[in-house]
Structure 1
Amino acid sequence: MEDRYVTCRSIGNYGHAISKGKTYKIINEDEEKYRVKGNHGSAVWISKYYFIEGIASIPLLDSWKFDDNINDFDLVEVTLTFTDRSKRWCLVTTPQKLVKHFSSDNLDPPGFNIQHLIINKTLDISDVDKILKHLDEQDELIIASKPLFES
């Protein structure tokens, strides 16, 4: 029988055993799960949800940068660069900056819905880096950002 492989698209609660973008040989499978040899060297059963069948190239977050001065704006633009060289952008803010934003007397409309807004405890580089990496590992960063088309 020919070896079969799966590529991790999201780590879920299995960060101790699998890595996004890494390919794993299927040891066994049932209807809902694959048994693979995890990063820790042990065989584990993991839901098929976290994998793509075959050997696939999964773009990973490579780098990011603030596009705005974090002290000048309530909603700060961030550019994300992935390993396939694609770029996306999102907004980041803190709960305190949202309160400041909504305290404006001339806010019109009086609310918003922004799917590409990430709310973080602080805008410290290490905190923003941590949340962006977490969202990427969970396969949520694409949903939390928009394509960046540079001219």
Structure 2
Amino acid sequence: MEYKFVTCTSIGVYGHALTKGKIYQAVAEEADRYRIIGNHDKRVWINKYYFVDGEVEVPILSSWKFDDPLEDLDLIEVTVTFNNGMKRWCLITTPERLIKHFEHTNLDPPGLNIQHLIIVKEMNDEVINRTLKHLDEQGQIEKATLQLM
């Protein structure tokens, strides 16, 4: 039997079995799922949603950096860089900074919709690393950021 190769694009709840960007051999296939040998060396059925067909390069977050001084602004610009050189950006804030933003800024209109705004519990490297890594592993990092030109 000839096996099909698939590339993982997100891990969902399968962190024990999948790695984003890793190529897996599908040892069986049904209409909506593949049976692969996971990272834990066990055969497991996983929905096709988590894969693309073939051996495909999947951008994976490799680093990020603050573009603004943390002390100056409530909404901090951050650049994220991927393993293929692609760069994207987003805004990061905390709930407290967001409240402060509305208290000290005369907004017109008095609301905002920012799809590339990530709200974290604390403004520190560890929390931001974990948040960005989680978004990346879940295949959500590109939706949460904008491409840099």
> TM-score, structure 2 length as denominator?
0.97
Give secondary structure in 1 for the equivalent of 2:115: coil
Is 1:92 paired with 2:106?
A: no
CA distance in 2, matches of 1:83, 1:106: 40
The CA deviation at 1:61 is 0.4
1:85-106 CA-to-partner distances (Å, cap 9, x unmatched) read 0100000000000110111262
> TM-score, structure 1 length as denominator?
0.96
Task: Map 1:66-77 to 2 at 5 A.
Answer: 66-77=66-77
CA distance in 2, matches of 1:104, 1:97: 10
- Residue in 2 aligned with 1:126? 126
Give secondary structure in 2 for the equivalent of 1:35: strand
Q: Percent identity?
A: 54
CA distance in 1, matches of 2:98, 2:104: 10
The CA deviation at 1:3 is 2.4
Runs (4+) of structure 1 exceeding 3 A deviation are none
- Residue in 2 aligned with 1:32? 32
CA distance in 2, matches of 1:3, 1:28: 8
Give secondary structure in 1 for the equivalent of 2:133: helix
Structure 2 residues without counterparts, runs of 5 or longer: none
Give secondary structure in 1 for the equivalent of 2:144: coil
Give secondary structure in 1 for the equivalent of 2:68: coil
CA distance in 2, matches of 1:104, 1:70: 17
Aligned residues: 149
- Residue in 1 aligned with 2:53? 53
CA distance in 1, matches of 2:39, 2:138: 17
Amino acid paired to 1:6? V
CA distance in 1, matches of 2:105, 2:4: 61
The CA deviation at 1:71 is 1.8
- Residue in 2 aligned with 1:139? 139
Are the structure 2 counterparts of residues 45 and 120 from structure 1 closer, same or farther at C-alpha, using a change threshold of 3 Å? same
- Residue in 2 aligned with 1:43? 43
- Residue in 2 aligned with 1:62? 62
